[in-house]
Amino acid sequence: MRFLTVVLQHTCRNMLFTWKSQIMTLFTVSLSVLIFSFFYLIYSNALHVGQELGNDLRLIVYLDEDPSPAMQEQYQMKILKFDQVDRIEFISSQQAFKRFEQQLGDNRDVLTGVPADFLPPSIEVYPVRSLDNLSRIKRFSDYLQTLPGVLKVQYGKEWIERFFSFIQLMRVVILLSGSLLIMTTTFMVAHTIRLTLLSRQQELELLRLVGATNNYIRMPFLLEGALQGLLGASCGIAALLLLFNWIKLQFAGPTTLTLLPFTFFPWPVILSIIGIATLLCAAGSFSTTRRILQL
Amino acid sequence: MEQSIRPVSLKSFPPGAPFEKKQLCAYGPISETSIPPLRSESMSQETHHPDVMIDLVKVTKVYPPDVQAISDISLTVAKGEIVFLTGMSGAGKTTLLRLISRIEKPTKGMVEVAGFDIAKLPQRNIHQLRRKIGMAYQDFKLLPERTVADNIAIAMEVVYRPPSFIEKRIRALLDQLDLVRKYATPTGELSRGEQQRVSIARAVANFPEIVLADEPTGNLDAETTGKVMNLFHQLNCQGTTILIATHDQSLYQRTSHRIIELRFGRLRSQVSDPPEENSEEEAASSLFPSSEA
């Protein structure tokens, strides 16, 4: 208990002593967390949107003739051999015609005189609903194209490709902003701790001479780093929440944004970001303390 | 009848021999119960003789590139002994004290302090040795922007003494060293004499087993010197071993304590016979000129 009190006292003293650098560090950590979490928020929402859109995703494999039950079994086996799917439906020419009729509704008269088997039979393949599966759609489509009796394979090729380009871009941006977060938090905190250590070198030397343990000397600096991470990350997340609410307010109304499920981070993600930033800052502080004090 | 100060008398003390302290303390011992125990950290390698506090065997210290500070010194200091280290500037007194407190490591030889072989003492355990030693440095090593009380408290804070104890101890020491009025003054605003006394107060604050004082009275007048020496004697009465490195002949001229002279880094002579012609009271008054006891 006494140890904790002493550590807290020393930490507060350190932070007051170098309050200017503390504010600078806090600002940098906040900004890094804000940049990273901003892109991560976009990415996670994009993934969510992808999942929502993926619910309607299916590959339509047009065949040259209605497959016999044995052929249907063969097709099913070959499709499952490539990947797991949610379900496979065989649509005969007749069923396709009926569907088309229903879709036309009151305009079904246009089909008068048209033979009931003018539409080709098809297989509707519903892939498992996950984004990973979406990324394999193209390969899946290429594979289905090679099956015997297949005329054409159709899916929302264009939007899927655009969507995945966007997801890929977001991944790169997140990687970069994550690296920025790691670098700034670690280096800035390390720099501030270094300044504190140098400004208090005389006292630290004295502490060693009067019999202070390594932990007694080190702990206040570790705590200082962790506090910078905790406060900086909390401020960054708070700023992002403000920004998020502002954007939602700006785009309130009949826009595309309101149609998409655009949500803020759930609590576990918020706590993870704050926790990781805190750990990174503590690590930066630890390495500097270790190097300068040679503990 | 008032008790008089009787300095420790060491008659031809052979190295390693048990030291029998038969003395009367003018101040009486400080009650053991008034000193809260420190956390148990007994790592001392109890292979040495229990009555030997400091043991140096053929110790040499060479500073780079090739400055021989002390050379081939062997010395044994018993528990509860007061020893004066004398010699000219550059004789190696400070180096010897720095070796004992493990600020320096010996180039050759063995230094054993309070049961710790300092060459084998790992960095992470140095605090165990340092807590047994109180050192008053020649350059004081005070924190100028911190108050007198803060500077003294540091030594007790690192061993987690309760704040009430720290407060009481600081006031008692300042009272004894005539510095009560300076309690909340930053040490940077004190005179050198006052700074020296703060440094001494910090060295003895934690009731160390060994006190190493490097020129403790260099900036003090005769009266204050007496007060400082009284403080040392009071600690010595409780069994503290004290090493005083000094130029000040008045401190040891008529003392019965062992005097070790260093010259050019070598042990020149050891004197340990008390002056026969003096009574013990005279010896005490010569050692502690301002003692009221």
Does residue B109 sit in helix, strand or coil? strand
pLDDT for B128 beyond 80: yes
How would you label A191-213 residue by residue, b for 16+ Cβ within 10 Å and e otherwise? bbbbbbbeebeebbebbbbbbbb
pLDDT of residue B27: 42
pLDDT for B283 beyond 60: no
pLDDT of residue A256: 56
pLDDT per position as a tens digit, B154-185: 999 999 899 899 999 999 999 999 999 999 99
Q: How far is A43 from chain B (nearest CA, A)?
A: 47
Comparing CB atoms, the residue among A202, A203, A210 nearest residue B130 is A210
For residue B116, give the H/E element and its range.
strand B116-117
Confidence category of residue A207, pLDDT binned at 50, 70, 90? very high
3-state SS, one letter per residue, for chain A: CHHHHHHHHHHHHHHHHCHHHHHHHHHHHHHHHHHHHHHHHHHHHHHHHHHHHHCCCCEEEEECCCCCHHHHHHHHHHHHHHCCEEEEEEECHHHHHHHHHHHHHHHHHHHCCCCCCCCCCEEEEEECCCHHHHCCHHHHHHHHHCCCCEEEEECCHHHHHHHHHHHHHHHHHHHHHHHHHHHHHHHHHHHHHHHHHHHCHHHHHHHHHCCCCHHHHHHHHHHHHHHHHHHHHHHHHHHHHHHHHHHHHHCCCCCHHHHCCCCCCCHHHHHHHHHHHHHHHHHHHHHHHHHHHCC
Question: Which chain B residues contact residue A2 at CB under 8 A?
Answer: 160, 162
Global ipTM = 0.77
Question: Which chain B residues contact residue A201 at CB under 8 A?
Answer: none
- Region of poorest pLDDT, from A1-5, A143-147, B285-289: B285-289
Question: Which chain B residues contact residue A211 at CB under 8 A?
Answer: 127-131, 133, 155, 158-159
Confidence category of residue B40, pLDDT binned at 50, 70, 90? very low
The whole-model pTM stands at 0.68
* Closest to A215 (Cα-Cα) out of A1, A58, A4: A4
pLDDT for A19 beyond 50: yes
pLDDT per position as a tens digit, A229-253: 999 999 999 999 999 999 888 877 6
Question: Which chain B residues contact residue A214 at CB under 8 A?
Answer: 124, 127
End-to-end CA distance of chain A: 23
Q: Which of residues 187-216 of B touch A (CB under 8 A)?
A: 202, 206
Say whether A207 and B103 touch across the interface (CB within 8 A). no
Question: Which chain A residues contact residue B143 at CB under 8 A?
Answer: 202-203, 206
Question: Which chain A residues contact residue B126 at CB under 8 A?
Answer: 208
Percent of chain B with pLDDT over 70: 75
- Region of poorest pLDDT, from A165-179, A277-291, B223-237: A165-179
- pLDDT mean across residues, chain B: 79
- pLDDT mean across residues, chain A: 84
**A264 contact B CB<8A:** no
**A207 contact B CB<8A:** yes
Confidence category of residue B135, pLDDT binned at 50, 70, 90? very high
pLDDT of residue B293: 32
Does residue B188 sit in helix, strand or coil? helix
Confidence category of residue A2, pLDDT binned at 50, 70, 90? confident
Say whether A6 and B155 touch across the interface (CB within 8 A). no
Mean pLDDT of B115-120: 88
Say whether B130 and A213 touch across the interface (CB within 8 A). no
Check: CB of residue B5 under 8 Å from CB of residue B89. no
Mean pLDDT of B186-207: 94
pLDDT of residue B29: 42
List, edge to edge, every strand of the sheet that includes B67-78: B67-78, B52-63, B108-113, B116-117
Q: How far is A228 from chain B (nearest CA, A)?
A: 25
pLDDT of residue B50: 63
Gyration radius (Cα) of chain B, Å: 18
pLDDT per position as a tens digit, B199-258: 999 999 999 999 999 999 888 888 889 899 989 999 999 999 999 999 888 888 878 889
Nearest CA in chain B to A206: B141
